[in-house]
Structure 1
Amino acid sequence: MEPTIEDVSKRMKVTLFSENQTDEVYKRYSIREKTLKNNIDRAMNSILEHVEKTENVKLNHWQTEKATRNVSNLSKYIEILFSKLNKESIIEYCDNSDKSLTDLTFDDDEFIFLVNSYYGNILLDIVWASDISVSDVINITHGKIDDKNLKRKLPKKVSEIKKNVLPFFKKIGINNELIDTINQSILCYNKKIHKGSGILLMVAIEGIVREFGERLMIKQEIKEAIQNKEYNSLDSFLRSIPWKEDIVITQDKFMFLTGNYTFTNLKQKEFLNENVSVNFKTRLDFLRRTFKEERNQVLHGEHIKNGQVWDLYRNFSALYEVYDTIKYYNENQ
């Protein structure tokens, strides 16, 4: 039966293993108890954060869906931890674990806080970027952005786009106007005309996704009636077409791309390295979320501050993910 808030609160107040014991085995039990309680606290605080941050804010459909899913996942996590917060389970876990005293303080489900964070999963929505660092993700889950670190990444990212992305797009025959638009964006970036750089990138990304998507529809033998239908937005283009699940990625990549957390009985490291098949829409689903919202606000004159380090990092990262997706198809089909 699902535990109530009162059930959880009562058990949190009970000390199962005293911290004052000197016996090494007993210390392991105490550390495990503290870790379980600490993670229950963190999960509860994260749920409260979702409630507080969203109660007076108008969320769009995908944000509402993610907030609901995050709270559901965190609630389920609390249930799992609650079921482990008893003497028998703690003793069994510690006696059958080869973890050191230090390692016992790190729970295998740390990933759940990264994937179900309000800031990282709903507000900022950037953990899909392939070069995002662990420190960046942790900061973002707490609502902090390290502009200096992101700024340091930009020259390398831009250089990679010039060296690998643009020649690749040219090689596979992407429209020269779109390639030229990216070159103009890089020129603007180099001249510190950052607003112009961002707008040009957004235009190029949408054009490239549509152009390649139309080729992919033919390869995937999608019905002629669907192929000829007009999709006015990139959102509907990705969402409404029945793309085939022909891209293989790891579970950790899947969860960072989508924010969908999966509970499993397998050890976390083993599970995160398992493969999962996704389609074109799922691989580029981040384009339908914050990226789309920012794009619409910019083009309608509502986001006049566009051009900050954060915007540049997100837009160049989005272009790279589009390149990486198309490259995958080019190499595997």
Structure 2
Amino acid sequence: MDNPYLVPAGQPLASLTRPDAISASTRAVNQGLAKTLALMTPPAGLAEMRDAYVKGLLGLPASPKSPRARRMAIDGPAGPIELRVFVPDDVRGVYLHIHGGGWIAGSNDTWDEQLELFGREAGMVAVSLDYRLAPEHPAPAAVEDCVAVASWLIEHAGREFGTSWLSIGGESAGSNLAALTLLRLRDLGQGSAYRAASLLFGCFDLSLTPSVYRAQAAPFVSLEAMRQFTAAFAGGTDLRDPAISPLYADLHGLPPALFSVGSVDPLLDDSLFMHMRWQAAGNDSYLAVYPGGTHGFNSFAGELAAAGNRGIATFLAMIRRQAHA
């Protein structure tokens, strides 16, 4: 796989995590983000925060809305679930996208640019869903919505899109939900339906890993913020329960996964730990570490964001080719 930030077997991880690995352009992006966040007034409440988040007004840019997107809805466990769909000219598979937002914010229309890239470069039909948000709907509500859409695609993707090759992924909280969805499908006897997973700077241990505790003034996912996000999603569930923290689950029988994360992301350890546990359970796993990448790094302008998004597209295309070799 052609990705300079992929960690090959035997290569010291330090080559991608040490400070001198960070490019001048990435440092400039991070400095600009720090200035933006320093001037920002926090939203007054949850509704205001959600609105600002989806509009890209909290420091994390939202992708421009694409006119190519079409909307549809399917039946879910608590009512209709809205899907945002992109169909490329050359269809080779389907990518089920689960958005981030700390389980409490976000929507399916803030990632159009990246999802269209996956279509152009990997031939993936992108299907992005709106799931129920916490704290109004704590776990397992979001997981149940994601499983409902994943199951619908297993049954209908061939007829709707002309392909039954399925992949899944998400960013941040969306990566957590993607992993939990795969575990649910496996336990339902549908473990082989999804052939690849892209898990981008995910939270896999809701009790929080050492890198979260050690982070200082981190954008978007400070220790205080992470405690608020995880408590809202967990409700009354123990934070280390495998039903919400997949790091503690039995991970056998899962598809090849790409774990992508920035070297200065407080959730770095989540990806490092989950990558190794994924492998130890007998699955194929790939790790890409982006020097200087913050949480959400792939949404900013610059070489690192382009490399991160292209790396996911390359991974999906590679696994798809291997399946048909």
Short-chain TM bin = under 0.3
TM-score (norm 2): 0.24
TM-score (norm 1): 0.24
| Higher relative helix content | 1
Larger relative contact order (CA 8 Å, sep ≥ 6): 2
Higher radius of gyration, 1 or 2? 1
